[in-house]
C-alpha cells in the first residue's frame, strides 16, 4: 500500500471529534449573526467590515468540518482545477494548530486585559490616543462567550486529524490485508 492509499482510507474519526468539529460553527454563529444585525444601525463605512468579519469567521469555523470528513483528505471533484487531488495533511494540521493556538491566545489576552483594565480605568482603547470605550454589556458578551471554546475545539480536532491522517497505523508483521 502506498502512502496515498493510507491517506485516502484513514481511520474514521471518533465520535467526540465529529461532535467537536460541528460545535465549532455553532460557537461562532451567535457572534456572526449579531454582527450582521448591526448592519441596520451602522453606517455604510463599517458595514463591509461587519459582513467580511462574519463571513470570514463562519468560513474558518466551517472549514473545521474538513478535519472529520473525507473531503478534508481529498478535494471534491467539483472543485475547479484541484478536484480529486489529495489535501496535504501536514500543512492542514499545522495551520489548524496555529489557528487554534492563536484563538486561545486572543481569549487569554482579552480575559487578562479585561481584568486588569476594567477594574482600574474602565474599558480602554487599543492605544493611548484611543478614547475610552464603555465595557461591553452582558448583551454583547453572551454572543461572544461561546467563541471561547473555538480554539480548544480546533486544537483537539486537528490533533485527532493529525493522529489519523498524518501518522496512520501501519500494518504490523502479522497483519493480513484482505
176 in a structural domain: no
**Of residues 133 and 71, more confidently modeled:** 71
10 Å Cβ neighbour count for 80? 5
pLDDT given at position 139: 76
Q: Go through the chain and tell me how many residues it has.
A: 178
172 in a structural domain: no
Q: What is the pLDDT confidence band of residue 155, given thresholds at 50, 70 and 90?
A: very high
pLDDT at position 101 over 80: yes
CA-CA distance, 106 to 121, in Å (whole number)? 21
The most confident of the ranges 9-13, 49-53, 113-117 is 49-53
pLDDT given at position 87: 86
10 Å Cβ neighbour count for 21? 27
Q: Provide the residue range defining the domain that includes 109.
A: 3-166
How confident is the prediction for the chain on average, in pLDDT? 81
pLDDT given at position 99: 96
**Structural domains in the chain (count):** 1
Residue position matching grid coordinates 485527532: 160
Alpha helices in 38-168 (DSSP H): 44-63, 89-121, 138-144, 150-161
Give the pLDDT confidence of 21-77 residue by residue, as tens digits. 999 999 999 999 998 888 877 666 678 888 999 999 999 999 999 999 988 888 888
Q: How far is CA 84 from CA 17, 78, 160, in A?
A: 24, 8, 23
Over residues 80-92, mean pLDDT: 89
149 in a structural domain: yes
Over residues 123-143, mean pLDDT: 61
Percent of the chain residues topping a pLDDT of 70 = 74
Q: C-alpha grid cell for residue 52?
A: 467580511
175 in a structural domain: no
Q: Taking the model in full, what pTM does it have? A: 0.77
Q: What is the pLDDT confidence band of residue 82, given thresholds at 50, 70 and 90?
A: confident
Residues 6+ apart with CB under 8 A from 177: 1, 171
pLDDT given at position 3: 44
Residue 74, classed as helix, strand or coil, is strand
pLDDT given at position 168: 59
Amino acid at each position: 500500500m502506498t502512502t496515498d492509499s493510507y491517506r485516502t482510507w484513514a481511520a474514521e474519526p471518533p465520535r467526540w471529534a465529529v461532535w467537536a468539529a460541528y460545535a465549532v460553527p455553532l460557537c461562532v454563529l451567535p457572534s456572526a449573526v449579531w454582527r450582521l444585525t448591526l448592519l441596520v444601525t451602522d453606517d455604510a463605512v463599517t458595514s463591509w467590515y461587519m459582513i467580511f468579519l462574519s463571513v470570514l469567521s463562519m468560513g474558518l469555523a466551517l472549514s473545521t468540518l474538513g478535519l472529520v470528513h473525507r473531503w478534508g483528505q481529498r478535494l471534491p471533484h467539483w472543485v475547479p482545477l484541484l478536484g480529486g487531488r489529495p489535501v496535504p495533511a501536514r500543512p492542514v494540521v499545522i495551520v489548524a494548530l496555529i489557528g487554534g493556538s492563536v484563538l486561545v491566545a486572543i481569549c487569554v489576552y482579552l480575559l487578562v486585559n479585561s481584568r486588569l483594565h476594567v477594574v482600574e480605568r474602565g474599558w480602554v482603547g487599543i492605544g493611548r490616543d484611543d478614547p475610552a470605550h464603555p465595557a461591553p454589556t452582558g448583551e454583547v458578551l453572551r454572543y461572544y462567550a461561546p467563541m471561547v471554546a473555538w480554539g480548544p475545539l480546533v486544537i483537539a480536532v486537528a490533533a485527532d486529524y493529525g493522529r489519523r491522517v498524518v501518522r496512520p497505523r501501519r500494518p504490523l508483521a502479522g497483519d493480513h490485508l484482505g
